[in-house]
Chain A
Amino acid sequence: MVSEREVWDWLGQIPDPEIPVLSLVDLGVIREVRFDGDTLVVGVTPTYSGCPATAVIKQDIEAALRAHGVDKLRLERRLSPPWTTEWMSEDGRRKLREYGVAPPSGRAPAACPRCGSSKLRRVSQFGSTPCKANYVCQECLEPFDYFKCI
């Protein structure tokens, strides 16, 4: 019999399809792991409503758990409470920064993920994916993504 702890560990190894340095557990979209009889139930919450990664995340979870030998599996959608950037783990925030994406921090990024400067300019509130805004550092002049708070 597989334990819930083991399932969490497996889910922690599945990368987010758009920001692969983050795992699904880092991202905070896994709400629940439990057994309903002999069926494994995983509660998953979407990030942005229209995020195309949501469908891929579902497929990746199914594929990974099947590869670990889980054959009775049910994924449940959880809308409430809504996902926010508060659900992202501390570890996830550190990984994002190292990856060159400023982690969520209130209204605007705290610092340039490359040089640490706080002299920043917003280029656009909307970026390459629904969760990102576009900034440029006034010190090192590098553009960077900001994982915006929601």
Chain B
Amino acid sequence: MTSNSVSSDRFNYALRLGDNALILSHRLSEWCGHGPALEEDIALTNVALDLIGQAQFWLGLAGELEGAGRSADDLAYKRDAGAFRNALLVERPNGDYGHTLMRQYLFDAWHVEVLAALTASSDPRFAEIAAKAAREVAYHVERSGELVAALGDGTPQSHARMQSALDALWAYAGGLFVGDEIDARLAEQGIAPAAGSLRPEWDRATGAVFAQAGLKPPASAFAHKGGHTEALGHLLAEMQFLPRAYPDAQW
């Protein structure tokens, strides 16, 4: 293993973490001013704010690791869909509020675990960002888990919506645990956890919430992985419009 490909693995991994946070943050910000209640609107945008802060750290690190002079903003605004490394789950459209909360919970439950594992990374740059983000994400998963349980165990209408969200998102969530050769090499060096190693604890934690909610995860183990869905291009068209159209715009 040359040190060159190790640093490119780290760059790609930092991009994945940064892109997950960035894309999900953008999805959540689409709810700003449209939440079903003021508290929900505020909560969701606060979660979005934490995620955008985390995205800045991860993409900043990715830029450093790449060493080509790209800043976090360059990486966020000047890449096309094909160069994004986020999980498919986070780019899925918001749907109804229940769908948004289900996507959030499936992600949060994975996010707390990956960050906990990264806190022990052999690369201190990954460990320090993870330690910072983990404290924020502990609040995210508490909230999304409580809401999934409450809505699943709510009215027939809310229950039906949560079940259909779970059915629709299940295979995308599964993609979080399908690793590739980058994950494998980083795991070997203790830099990042192997993707599949996070699944048992995720199954246990989400299983407990689904049981409380009266929701049934699909039996299928099929997982979507790789590439992007059509949804990402539309999201980027909105997110990147301003810096692309007015490259020197100042706040």
Binary CB contact string for chain A from 130 to 143 against chain B (1 if under 8 A, 0 otherwise) = 10001000000000
Binary CB contact string for chain A from 41 to 61 against chain B (1 if under 8 A, 0 otherwise) = 000001011111000000000
Chain B residues within an 8 Å CB radius of A83: 132
Chain A residues within an 8 Å CB radius of B48: 50
Q: With contacts A49-B54, A50-B51, A50-B54 known, is A128 near B132, CB below 8 A? A: no
B50 touches A130 (CB 8 A): yes
Q: For the complex, is A80 an interface residue (Cβ under 8 Å from B)?
A: yes
Q: A84 contacts which of B39, B127, B135 (Cβ < 8 Å)? A: B135
| Tally of chain B residues near chain A (CB < 8 A) | 26
Q: A48 contacts which of B43, B49, B124 (Cβ < 8 Å)? A: B49
Q: With contacts A80-B124, A80-B128 known, is A48 near B42, CB below 8 A? A: no
- Please measure, in the bound complex, the distance between the C-alpha atom of A49 and the C-alpha atom of B129, giving whole angstroms: 9
Q: For the complex, is B136 an interface residue (Cβ under 8 Å from A)?
A: yes
Size class of the contact patch on chain A: 20 to 34
Binary CB contact string for chain B from 212 to 245 against chain A (1 if under 8 A, 0 otherwise) = 0000000000000000000000000000000000
Interface members, chain A 45-83 (any B CB < 8 Å): 46, 48-52, 79-83
A49 touches B143 (CB 8 A): no
- Please measure, in the bound complex, the distance between the C-alpha atom of A82 and the C-alpha atom of B139, giving whole angstroms: 16
Chain A residues within an 8 Å CB radius of B136: 48-49, 150
- Please measure, in the bound complex, the distance between the C-alpha atom of A11 and the C-alpha atom of B57, giving whole angstroms: 25
> Which chain B residue has the least Cβ–Cβ distance from A50?
B53
A49 touches B57 (CB 8 A): yes
- Please measure, in the bound complex, the distance between the C-alpha atom of A8 and the C-alpha atom of B43, giving whole angstroms: 35
Distance in Å: Cβ of B125 to nearest Cβ of chain A: 9
**Which 7 pairs show the lowest CB-CB distances between chains A and B?**
A50-B53, A49-B53, A126-B43, A50-B49, A80-B128, A124-B39, A126-B46
Query: A-side interface residues toward B, CB under 8 Å?
Result: 46, 48-52, 79-84, 123-128, 130, 134, 148, 150
